[in-house]
Amino acid sequence: MKESIRLGTVKGIRIGMHWSLLVILWLLVASLAGYQFPRAAPGHASAAYWLAAAVATVAFYASLVAHELAHALVARRRHIEVDGIVLWLLGGMSKLRGDANSASDEQRISIVGPATSAVLALAFFVLSRVVGAGHPASLAAAVL
């Protein structure tokens, strides 16, 4: 899958997105702001729900980039060329050239992405508890 929009570069790894991601971004923000957040924490201004939804959506995709970047960085350390990362409708993909040299390398490359996601999930959980229930920032953190 090719990127339609270039987002930037991290440690020499190009990060881009496919146009299909824009559809999901809008649907995610709209469903969080229009349905999920008002029911989870009633009584806030509409703008607070939209802001929390936008923050949650951006943080979600930043987490996805972190997950894919972890795969890509470990692959590069294992001497596999990385063409970049593409975010798209159903998630993200690290574009690697070639295969791992050993089962051990393959295992490391495979595990580091979910491990990164688990650490981020724990951090967002702690953030949601520190901020307190019902606060718009807590809503955004709880969704993640």
Return the active site residues.
68
Q: Which pair of tokens denotes residue 8?
A: 């930037």
Q: Is the dihedral of CA 38, 55, 82, 80 positive or negative?
A: negative
Output the CA angle 4-95-1, nearest 5 degrees: 40
Find the Cα–Cα–Cα–Cα dihedral 119, 87, 26, 38, rounded to 10°: -10
20 closest CA partner among 36, 37, 1, 38: 1
